[in-house]
């Protein structure tokens, strides 16, 4: 019996070529060159001049920093808008006042300058400063309570480091000291502590995003502050998620390290806020508030300890986790007091929010894996109670640090 031979397989897809040919490079350069020519024509031919009605250009001015000393008021401003702008006049409490601009001249888009105003401000009183441009546009800045700005010096670095350690390192270390007791918990207790960690981090996430968005509203419009916060947060989340899972889902010490990193980035933003407030001479940041921050952060150490309950970490590892979570508060104190700016603070908080979100996902996944790999573990009474208690504890202690 004759058998019909099977038809031969026809390969239609050619293997991809290695590298780029000259034709490919031409097609790559052509649209780029066309875009450059279109931009040059738009600049030099100026076809939009027929729409010019003589209206003044759009201007925007952002006040980024305020310093008060014996010589008067000093304002750091950042220009925005469509054209370079020039500061023409300055009013303080509705009275025109002399000022010195450094550097002098027009302010290009996103350029900064200091305005030095020799105004005899009064301790404890409010002052309103208006900056008027040469087009007549006025921008107002309020000094709610006039207090002399402390002079930055090396002598302040050690006291600031002590405060940063008190609100960052000490509470995390105290929280980790609960490890011997927590390590004796059974499976249900461990699930509760892990869920408690999720609740703690969920509160930190909301609190960090809120602070980042508030700072983003004070940035120059060109920085697109709110968009920057979202993009930086999501980018950090995705990058850390990819890095953390390159060798599989993190557990044990690795997961505790990611929790410490997320909390550390949050404490960096917290330190920036405290340092900036100290630099502004904020009297409200007294002993009570520092104690409030300390109590508020103790629970963070418990959250770091949660993934370690079935392991035997060394003292060196505990010390490393403590420094990773708490030491950024010291760095934030220094940066906040010496070089505070709303856009960089908002960016730091956004990165911290992204890191915290990544930790929430990893801790939730770890909790699910410990309970058989199902998401139903997150809806058990112990898990729900842990999440709710974590949020409640952070909310209650957070009342001590909100002024």
Strand partners, 107: 85
Cα separation of the two ends of the chain: 95
175 contact partners, CB below 8 Å, separation of at least 6: 297, 298, 299, 300, 301, 302, 303, 304, 305
Query: What does the block give as tokens for 9?
Result: 């397989």
Contact 132, 91 (CB under 8 A): yes
- Write the DSSP string, 8-31: PPPP-PPPPPSS--HHHHHHHHHH
236 burial (CB, 10 Å; 0-12 / 13-18 / 19+) is buried
Q: What is the reported pLDDT for 164?
A: 83
**Cα of 93 vs its chain's centroid, Å:** 34
* Strands 95-97, 100-102: pairing kind: unpaired
Contact 81, 57 (CB under 8 A): yes
Query: What sign for the dihedral angle of Cα 145, 151, 153, 156?
Result: negative
232 contact partners, CB below 8 Å, separation of at least 6: 347, 350, 351, 354
Q: What is the reported pLDDT for 196?
A: 83
* Neighbour tally for 110: CB within 10 Å: 13
Q: Could you list the pLDDT tens digit for every one of the 403 residues in the chain?
A: 455 555 555 555 555 555 678 887 888 888 888 888 888 887 787 777 766 666 666 788 889 888 888 899 999 999 887 788 899 999 999 899 999 999 998 888 888 899 999 999 998 888 999 999 988 889 999 988 787 777 666 677 787 788 888 888 888 888 888 888 878 877 777 778 878 888 888 888 888 888 889 888 888 777 888 999 999 999 988 988 887 777 777 778 888 888 888 888 888 877 777 777 666 555 455 555 567 677 777 777 888 887 887 788 888 988 999 999 888 888 888 887 776 678 888 888 888 888 888 888 888 887 777 666 666 666 778 788 888 888 888 888 777 666 5
317 contact partners, CB below 8 Å, separation of at least 6: 253
As a whole number of angstroms, the distance between CA 328 and CA 355 comes to 14
Query: What does the block give as tokens for 241?
Result: 């998620």
Query: What does the block give as tokens for 369?
Result: 């894996």
Q: What is the reported pLDDT for 101?
A: 94
Beta-sheet strand order (sheet of 87-92) = 95-97, 87-92, 127-133, 138-143
Q: What is the reported pLDDT for 333?
A: 81
Query: What does the block give as tokens for 222?
Result: 């060109």
Q: Which helix (H) or strand (E) holds 265?
A: helix 252-279
As a whole number of angstroms, the distance between CA 375 and CA 342 comes to 40
Q: What is the reported pLDDT for 289?
A: 59
């Amino acid at each position: 019996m004759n058998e019909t031979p099977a038809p031969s397989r026809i390969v239609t897809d050619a293997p991809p070529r290695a590298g780029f040919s000259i034709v490919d490079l031409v097609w790559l350069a052509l649209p780029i060159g066309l875009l450059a020519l279109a931009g040059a024509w738009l600049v030099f031919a100026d076809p939009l001049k027929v729409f010019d009605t003589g209206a003044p250009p759009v201007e925007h001015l952002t006040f980024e920093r305020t310093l008060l000393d014996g010589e008067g008021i000093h304002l750091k401003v950042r220009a925005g808008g469509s054209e370079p702008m020039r500061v023409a006049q300055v009013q303080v409490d509705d009275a025109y006042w002399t000022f010195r601009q450094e550097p002098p001249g027009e302010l290009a888009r996103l350029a900064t300058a200091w305005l030095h105003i020799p105004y005899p401000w009064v301790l404890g009183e409010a002052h309103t400063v208006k900056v008027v441009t040469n087009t007549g546009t006025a921008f107002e800045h309020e000094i709610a309570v006039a207090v002399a700005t402390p002079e930055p010096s090396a002598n302040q670095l050690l006291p600031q480091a002590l405060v940063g350690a008190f609100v960052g390192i000490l509470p995390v270390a105290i929280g980790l000291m609960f490890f011997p007791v927590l390590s004796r918990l059974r499976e249900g207790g461990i699930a509760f502590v892990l869920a408690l960690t999720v609740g703690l981090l969920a509160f930190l996430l909301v609190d960090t995003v809120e602070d980042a968005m508030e700072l983003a509203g004070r940035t120059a419009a060109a920085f697109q502050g709110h968009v920057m916060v979202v993009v930086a947060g999501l980018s950090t989340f995705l990058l850390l998620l990819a890095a953390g899972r390159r060798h599989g889902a993190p557990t044990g010490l690795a997961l505790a390290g990611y929790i410490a990193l997320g909390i550390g980035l949050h404490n960096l933003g917290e330190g920036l806020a405290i340092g900036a407030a100290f630099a502004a001479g904020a009297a409200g940041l007294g002993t009570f508030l520092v104690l409030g921050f300390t109590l508020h952060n103790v629970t963070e150490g418990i959250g770091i300890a949660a993934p370690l309950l079935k392991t035997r970490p060394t003292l060196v590892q505990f010390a490393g986790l403590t420094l990773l979570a708490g030491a950024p508060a010291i760095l934030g104190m220094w940066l906040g007091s010496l070089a505070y700016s709303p856009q960089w603070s908002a960016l730091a908080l956004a990165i911290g929010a992204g890191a915290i979100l990544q930790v929430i996902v990893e801790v939730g996944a770890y909790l699910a894996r410990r309970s058989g790999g199902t998401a139903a573990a997150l809806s058990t009474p112990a898990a729900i109670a842990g999440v709710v208690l974590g949020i409640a504890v952070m909310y209650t202690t957070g009342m001590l640090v909100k002024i």
